[in-house]
Amino acid sequence: MRMFDVIVVGLGGIGSAAAFHLVSRGQRVLGLDRFPIAHDKGSSHGQTRLIRLAYFEHPDYVPLLQRAYELWHDLEARTGRRLLVESGLVMAGPGDGTVITGALASAAAHGLEVERLTAREACHRWPVFAVPESWAVVHERRAGYLFVEACVAAHAEAAQEAGATLETGVQVHGWRAEGAGVIVSTDRGDVAAERLVLAPGPWATDLLQIPAVSLTVLRKSLFWYRPHAFVSQAFAAGACPCFAFDAPSGFFYGFPALDQRGVKIAEHSGGHLVTDPLSVDRATDAAEQRAIEAIIATHLPTLGTAQADHAVCLYTMSPDHHFVVGLHPDHDRVAIAAGFSGHGFKFASVMGSALADLATTGSTSLPIGFLSPRRFC
């Protein structure tokens, strides 16, 4: 039986980062995934992901984000890839809503630079937006986007260059603690390690072996719309920031046009329940498309509805929509990362570092205590 220091199950955004940080600390690492690196069957694909510091979900995420920015830029320097673009982010919604009040609370708690604007001021600065007079607007200059597939590939390639063994096309059936280590069962036989990191994305429920952590998987759609020629420059990268609308019908977000497909826009709220992540309907859902195009008509009226592309990704939701990261409650040789609830990719760099800490020393100085799986036990 092959033996490693650490086995990482799942090589998406989080697992690829963990493999890199582990091998960088001198560990003999085996990474396993059912699919190729940067595949489109889970959560870590679809061109871009938002990254932002004034985190409306909870102020406790901010120190992790600050470290994530540093680690993304370190990875850029190491690989020569452009991974993070600080394009700015405009968030608009009711002034007393969760998004605006949460972003301002995080900014105040951590001394972050954000700009408060009236709807009229925001629409004057970025004429592509239409914002109701009654709404408030927050502009975060340092927010922007990550090139999601490039980030996964960069972590994986850096891990391999440092000596990690990454194997794809491998189905992991389960794991068990045995002696002073862990045995992982796969369709290619069993492998052993002193420690295990589980980052299996939508396949987490069966692999975690923590009944108290109830995870659900949601199907989410991404849409791209090609702008009319007369406004193409206004929607282009460099001119148009990322945007988010806390609308009565849901929370919608999007990105400037980065290629010929145009502007990417999606709904963060909503979604369809998935019972089997291997058999997801990836066709365009007409109701979802209508919801997106209603937001375009209301808040991006000059964009038009010339749909250029569509994709589906998966959210793995925790009961409280916060991440589940820490040591396994029953097995201190197993570190877990799951339930990222549709807002975790921006943290992949720092989560990889935290998982490497947990797998090598059993603890981390990074402030992840509020994410511990023990909160459900």
> Residue range 103-119: average pLDDT?
98
CATH code matching the domain that covers 2-45+149-214+320-376, chosen among 1.10.1840.10, 3.50.50.60, 3.30.450.40, 3.30.460.10: 3.50.50.60
- According to the model, what pLDDT value does residue 145 have? 98
Phi, psi of 309 (to 5 degrees): -165, 165
The total of other beta-carbon atoms located within 10 Å of residue 315's CB is: 22
Chain segment 14-41, per-residue pLDDT in tens: 999 999 999 999 999 999 999 999 999 9
pLDDT-derived band of residue 240, with 50, 70 and 90 as boundaries?
Answer: very high
Query: Contacts from 227-231 at CB under 8 Å and sequence distance 24+?
Result: 227/257, 227/262, 227/263, 227/302, 227/303, 227/304, 227/306, 228/302, 228/303, 228/304, 228/306, 231/128, 231/302, 231/303
- Which pLDDT value is given to residue 79? 98
In the 8-state DSSP scheme, what is residue 226? P
Domain boundaries, the chain: 2-45+149-214+320-376, 89-141+216-317
pLDDT of amino acid 329: 97
C-alpha of 100 from chain center: 21
In tens, the pLDDT along 290-337 reads 999 999 999 999 999 999 999 999 999 999 999 999 999 999 999 999
Amino acid at 64: L
Residue 76 backbone class (left: φ over 0; alpha: ψ -120 to 50; beta: rest): alpha
The rounded distance, in Å, linking the Cα atoms of 129 and 296 is 9
Please state, in angstroms and rounded to a whole number, the distance separating the CA atoms of residues 101 and 119: 16
Q: If you average pLDDT over residues 353-360, what whole number do you get?
A: 98
Query: Alpha helix locations (H) across the chain?
Result: 13-24, 62-79, 98-110, 119-125, 148-161, 204-208, 286-299, 348-361
Q: Which CATH architecture has domain 89-141+216-317?
A: 2-Layer Sandwich (3.30)
Mean pLDDT over 342-350 rounds to 98
